Amino acid sequence: MAKIQMKTPLVEMDGDEMTRILWKWIKEILLEPYVDLNTEYYDLGLEYREKTKDQVTWDSAEATKKYGVAVKCATITPNAARMPEYNLTQMWKSPNGTIRAALDGTVFRTPIIVKGIEPYIPTWTKPITIARHAYGDVYKNTEMRVPQGSKAELVVTDKDGNESRELIHDFAKSDGVIQGLHNLDSSIAGFARACLNYGLDLKQDVWFATKDTISKKYDHRFKDIFQEIYDNEYKERYEAAGIEYFYTLIDDAVARVIRSNGGYIWACKNYDGDVMSDMVSTAYGSLAMMTSVLVSPDGIYEYEAAHGTVQRHYYKYLKGEETSTNSVATIFAWSGALRKRGELDKTPELCEFADKLEKATIQTIEEGVMTGDLYLISKLENKVKVDSKTFLEEINKRLAELVK
């Protein structure tokens, strides 16, 4: 059979530890036999980041802007323990942070649902995709402890030097604490567009919620920007696609999410997204079954798994011990990127291959063949636990049937 051709290169960002091993095997076993892979390769493994003084990360972000689609392997974000382990000259920043900043992107996380792994919320039969606004608020705050007897004020000095002041609190009776937060209209607008574009992409409703009844200027600004952008730029396309933009109070949103069946995108302010994404991913069963895509406001896509490099499994692998690491989210990062490449290049055979790769992966698990993490939580009766590589070979048996 002739291999599927790719018109435009896909930006490939390799990574670290166990996921780097899976990366190589996924390519060898599931991709290269079927697709003439046309990738522009960037090695974001920590050794090469050190060697290039992290330039490779910046280069890979630039390449993503150029070609529009990237697929990324999990990478180490160095901490103190990694400095001697990799002989680092600097504690390089998280590649994800660098790439997100370069693309001004929003991260969308979606669970992969399979029979036998039931969400803790039984009504969640469809995935809930969470988008987190990754700028400002409490993550870029200024905090102070305030001694009794002090008065705290907000002071804004405009470009002509005029000051406006608001009292925060008169700490006459007790010591206390204060916090200063900010956000930018431009960042909120970029977030709104990324979410509304992704809704059109997935043909799913977009929900957004804040605490605007209490925060009448700060949170209300978020609500207004979303509404203006929706009304002016998206309303017609949403109506034509039969989907909706839905705004409600955060309390109401949380209650509705729990009662829902899933199948929508939930746009969250920074803190809500941080907290809710952990709750939602846990409720769906496994971090190893969560995909993640970074979308820029102008429609650039970077696909990856939501989990890390699975360090503990890697050390076992290095000792020659058997590992049973789940490669599903990394496979779906590849299928997502190949499908998007196919859509942009108008090569439907690439999109079909991506669909079949996902189908074969889900079928494998639903037929009872799975890695250890899923084996522990699957309700299937005929389940068997396989090692990392056997799992990929089992998927390939089914994939080979599907592409025949």
Q: What is the DSSP letter of 237?
A: H
CB pairs under 8 A, 24+ apart, for 150-158?
152/178, 154/180
Smallest gap from residue 278 Cβ to Mg ion (A): 4
Distance CA 298, CA 397 (A): 39
Task: Give the CA-trace dihedral at 74, 110, 323, 91, to 10 degrees.
Answer: 20
Q: Choose the binding region for Mg ion from 24-32, 231-239, 275-283, 348-356 (rule: CB under 5 A).
A: 275-283
Tokens 């990478």 belong to 75
Smallest gap from residue 82 Cβ to ligand NAP (A): 7
244 binds, among ligand NAP, Mg ion, none (CB under 5 to 8 A by kind): none
77 binds, among ligand NAP, Mg ion, none (CB under 5 to 8 A by kind): ligand NAP
Q: What is the DSSP letter of 172?
A: S
278 binds, among Mg ion, ligand NAP, none (CB under 5 to 8 A by kind): Mg ion
308 binds, among ligand NAP, Mg ion, none (CB under 5 to 8 A by kind): ligand NAP
User: 192: helix, coil or strand?
Assistant: helix
Nearest CA to 218 among 168, 182, 169, 256?
182
Q: What is the DSSP letter of 369?
A: E
Smallest gap from residue 325 Cβ to ligand NAP (A): 4
Q: Where are the alpha helices (DSSP H) in 27-138?
A: 46-51, 55-67, 82-85, 95-103
Output 59 or 343, the one with its CB closest to ligand NAP: 59
Output 53 or 312, the one with its CB closest to ligand NAP: 312
Distance CA 394, CA 368 (A): 11
Q: Which positions from 157 through 176 interact with Mg ion, judged by CB under 5 A?
A: none
Smallest gap from residue 360 Cβ to ligand NAP (A): 18
Q: Is residue 271 near Mg ion by the rule CB under 5 A?
A: no
Q: How is residue 389 written in tokens? A: 């590589």
User: 242: helix, coil or strand?
Assistant: coil
288 binds, among ligand NAP, Mg ion, none (CB under 5 to 8 A by kind): ligand NAP
Q: Choose the binding region for Mg ion from 40-48, 81-89, 240-248, 266-274 (rule: CB under 5 A).
A: 266-274
Using CA atoms, how far residue 70 sits from 62, 92, 187, 380, in Å, is 11, 21, 22, 35
Beta strands (DSSP E) in 182-289 are 206-210, 245-249, 264-268
Q: Is residue 274 near Mg ion by the rule CB under 5 A?
A: yes
Tokens 């606004």 belong to 133
307 binds, among ligand NAP, Mg ion, none (CB under 5 to 8 A by kind): ligand NAP
Output 210 or 296, the one with its CB closest to ligand NAP: 296
Using CA atoms, how far residue 138 sits from 15, 180, 271, in Å, is 30, 8, 7
Output 38 or 390, the one with its CB closest to ligand NAP: 390
309 binds, among ligand NAP, Mg ion, none (CB under 5 to 8 A by kind): ligand NAP
Q: Is residue 228 near Mg ion by the rule CB under 5 A?
A: no
Q: How is residue 252 written in tokens? A: 């109401």
Q: Is residue 278 near Mg ion by the rule CB under 5 A?
A: yes
Distance CA 331, CA 392 (A): 10
Output 128 or 310, the one with its CB closest to ligand NAP: 310
Smallest gap from residue 100 Cβ to ligand NAP (A): 11
Output 109 or 223, the one with its CB closest to Mg ion: 109
Output 128 or 331, the one with its CB closest to Mg ion: 128
Name the site residues for ligand NAP (rule: CB under 6 A).
Answer: 74-77, 96, 287-288, 304, 307-312, 325-326, 373
Contact in structure between 223 and 89 (CB atoms under 8 Å): no
Smallest gap from residue 137 Cβ to ligand NAP (A): 21
Output 271 or 317, the one with its CB closest to Mg ion: 271
Q: Is residue 366 near Mg ion by the rule CB under 5 A?
A: no
Q: Residue number with the shortest CB distance to ligand NAP?
A: 308
Q: How many residues does the chain have?
A: 404
74 binds, among ligand NAP, Mg ion, none (CB under 5 to 8 A by kind): ligand NAP
User: 183: helix, coil or strand?
Assistant: coil
Q: Which residues are CB-contacts of 321 (< 8 A; sequence separation ≥ 6)?
A: none
Smallest gap from residue 69 Cβ to ligand NAP (A): 17
Contact in structure between 200 and 229 (CB atoms under 8 Å): no
| Contacting residues toward Mg ion, per CB under 5 A | 274, 278
